[in-house]
Amino acid sequence: MKTLLFVVAAILLLCSSCGNTLEKNGKTKKPNIIIIYADDLGYGDVSSYGDGIIKTPNIDKLAKGGIRFTKGYASSSTCTPSRYALLTGIYPWRNKRAHILPGSAPLIIGKDELTIPKMLKKQGYHTGIVGKWHLGLGSGNVDWNEYITPGPNEVGFDYSYIMAATQDRVPTVYIENGNVVGLDPDDPIEVSYKHKFPGELTGREHPEMLKLKPSPGQGHDGTIVNGISRIGHMIGGEKARWTDENMSDRFLAKAQDYIRSNKTKPFFLYYGLQQPHVPRTPNHRFVGKSGLGPRGDAIVEEDWNVGQILKTLKDENLLDNTLIIFSSDNGPVLDDGYQDQAVELNDGHKPWGPFRGGKYSLYEAGTRLPFITYWKGHIKPGVSDAMVSQIDILNSLARLTGSELRTNDGKDLLNTFLGKSNAGRESMVIEATGRTAYRKGDWVMIPPHRGSNLWRLQGIEVGNEPVIQLYNIKNDPGQKHNVADEKKIILNEMIAEYEHLTGRKVQMELPSKKKK
Ligand SMILES: [Ca+2]
């Protein structure tokens, strides 16, 4: 009998250490993981990073209580590529379909591709996404009135509550686990990015119906929904259409529900905030709060959401068992398609921080963003100058959760993300609307790219020059001095590494040669 008891006790003891998924003191040992991903939020938009003109006390709480990375990067300076790279750990320029997608585009993540939620599911996680998706849905010619597949639920998420693309694109409906929320079968939805539907009201033809007018020439003059015209065309689904001013609250409530209903097991939540992407439509509670108009108010609203997530975790006693990663998908833009006075009311604020460029740009502000890791009681607060990219998150979380899976492009920077090391990646390729550049150490090399450098409508320099550009970001964060002629050794080294990595050839056009 004694022997039997000993064996039982030994088995129990063994099991208590045989898997992180076992519960201990009512809490799961594997931490919950939440990625909070802002949309078009710039390096300087967060007060703990920037000039503090817009107050973001809740994001600052994460920054002050966690690791605030000063060299944290997205892989790309636009939505879809960055989101693809974050979830798959693969450079977006390797996937020809990873460009800014229309709302009718098919899913660009392959069935066999590894994703963060797929990897975490294998480690016993429940996985959910709430908010912006923008990685395509279906396989082409989606019927929005049926189960929409493949989508997030087919690439690793157990639960999804999303908008298909962006707030400024049709379809303007919420989709829960592949079904349009609140769809009336007698009022079916049709979506087209090629033609207008008979009877459809557009901003182009009915500007008198608009409460927010599109900026000329940026394509936001299609279907009118909630007094705002969108990119693309849609008819039907009247009852299912969202009200922009309630979107933030809707997504927040769904994110909170997800946390509460999955608190007994390890969960992964990807919370894709829609702010401050256009159209900027803060709820009336936030209107006028920033003093900078709708763009600033949308950031104040976004920050409040972050605070509510923290409060929910605290209330549910999950805060010391949840790793939070906060970042943004790309750099900032002021006029991005609507006349919301973002330029006129900006009042000296620098959304791009000390850097050049913004959204769409190969210059630094396109991809260098707020990047914070926070885990109460586990991460010692600090500031890290290590260079980290969002493509490193997959491999790092794999190690955190005991998975053997890795991607080739990502690095395992877990110790850096947890504040135990200051070692970052040495180099990386950055992308902007299909063009690429090479960032290494203190340097960035931008190959010659065709096209206008200044995107006049958005007021952003995107990095296109007919000559090679080389900047020392440390000494020249504003990228004012192209030193390609003076620093030949570093230039040649970077060109060789870039060509090897990307398979793209650099045209040897030096600034001095062009001046002759
Ligand atoms: Ca974006």
Q: What pLDDT score was predicted for residue 515?
A: 64
Domain identity same for 416 and 351:
yes
pLDDT in tens, 152-185: 999 999 999 999 999 999 999 999 999 999 999 9
Would you say residue 79 lies in a domain? yes
Q: What is the pTM of this model?
A: 0.94
At residue 267, φ and ψ (nearest 5 deg) are: -130, 155
178 C-alpha vs ligand 1 centroid, how far in Å? 23
42 C-alpha vs ligand 1 centroid, how far in Å? 10
Domain identity same for 291 and 380:
yes
426 C-alpha vs ligand 1 centroid, how far in Å? 25
Beta carbons of 416 and 423 less than 8 angstroms apart: yes
Instruction: Judge whether residue 6 has pLDDT over 80.
Output: no
pLDDT in tens, 476-496: 999 999 999 999 999 999 999
Structural domain count, the chain: 3
Beta carbons of 121 and 156 less than 8 angstroms apart: yes
Would you say residue 12 lies in a domain? no
Strands across the sheet containing 443-446 = 427-432, 435-440, 443-446, 469-472
**Over residues 229-250, mean pLDDT:** 98
Listed residues 425, 456, 472: the one ending a domain: 425
pLDDT in tens, 56-109: 999 999 999 999 999 999 999 999 999 999 999 999 999 999 999 999 999 999
Domain identity same for 205 and 310:
no
Would you say residue 319 lies in a domain? yes
Report CA-CA distances (Å) from 141 to 19, 148, 191, 200, 280: 44, 10, 9, 20, 29
Would you say residue 206 lies in a domain? yes
Domain identity same for 327 and 229:
no
pLDDT in tens, 423-480: 999 999 999 999 999 999 999 999 999 999 999 999 999 999 999 999 999 999 999 9
pLDDT tier, 5 (very low <50, low <70, confident <90, very high otherwise): low
Would you say residue 13 lies in a domain? no
Domain identity same for 324 and 441:
no
Instruction: Judge whether residue 46 has pLDDT over 90.
Output: yes
433 C-alpha vs ligand 1 centroid, how far in Å? 12
Q: What pLDDT score was predicted for residue 48?
A: 98
Domain identity same for 436 and 408:
no
Domain identity same for 286 and 404:
yes
Q: What pLDDT score was predicted for residue 516?
A: 55
pLDDT in tens, 389-434: 999 999 999 999 999 999 999 999 999 999 999 999 999 999 999 9
CA atoms within 13 A on the CB side of 375: 21
37 C-alpha vs ligand 1 centroid, how far in Å? 9
Q: What pLDDT score was predicted for residue 40?
A: 98
pLDDT tier, 14 (very low <50, low <70, confident <90, very high otherwise): very low
Beta carbons of 249 and 204 less than 8 angstroms apart: no
85 C-alpha vs ligand 1 centroid, how far in Å? 13
9 C-alpha vs ligand 1 centroid, how far in Å? 54
80 C-alpha vs ligand 1 centroid, how far in Å? 8
Listed residues 425, 450, 471: the one ending a domain: 425
Listed residues 404, 425, 446: the one ending a domain: 425
Would you say residue 18 lies in a domain? no
Domain identity same for 277 and 323:
yes
CB atoms within 10 A of CB 28: 20
Q: What pLDDT score was predicted for residue 17?
A: 37
Domain identity same for 278 and 361:
yes
Summary mean pLDDT of the chain = 94
Q: What pLDDT score was predicted for residue 23?
A: 43
**Over residues 126-138, mean pLDDT:** 98
pLDDT tier, 10 (very low <50, low <70, confident <90, very high otherwise): very low
CB atoms within 10 A of CB 211: 11
pLDDT tier, 29 (very low <50, low <70, confident <90, very high otherwise): confident
Report CA-CA distances (Å) from 448 to 203, 219, 487, 505: 38, 28, 17, 10
CB atoms within 10 A of CB 317: 11
Instruction: Judge whether residue 340 has pLDDT over 70.
Output: yes
Encode 152-169 in three state secondary structure: HHHCCCCEEEEECCCCCE
Domain identity same for 358 and 479:
no
Q: What pLDDT score was predicted for residue 493?
A: 98
Domain that holds residue 199: 190-235
Residue type at 78? T
Please indicate whether residue 6 or residue 49 has the higher confidence score (pLDDT). Answer: 49
Q: What pLDDT score was predicted for residue 12?
A: 45
CB atoms within 10 A of CB 120: 25
Would you say residue 19 lies in a domain? no
78 C-alpha vs ligand 1 centroid, how far in Å? 5
164 C-alpha vs ligand 1 centroid, how far in Å? 14
% of residues, the chain, pLDDT over 90: 93
Mapped onto helix, strand or coil, the DSSP state of residue 272 is: strand
CATH of the domain at 479: 3.30.1120.10
190 C-alpha vs ligand 1 centroid, how far in Å? 25
Q: What pLDDT score was predicted for residue 513?
A: 81
Domain identity same for 59 and 167:
yes
1 C-alpha vs ligand 1 centroid, how far in Å? 66
39 C-alpha vs ligand 1 centroid, how far in Å? 4
Mapped onto helix, strand or coil, the DSSP state of residue 244 is: helix
34 C-alpha vs ligand 1 centroid, how far in Å? 19
487 C-alpha vs ligand 1 centroid, how far in Å? 34
Mapped onto helix, strand or coil, the DSSP state of residue 267 is: strand
Beta carbons of 128 and 159 less than 8 angstroms apart: yes
CATH of the domain at 66: 3.40.720.10
Would you say residue 7 lies in a domain? no
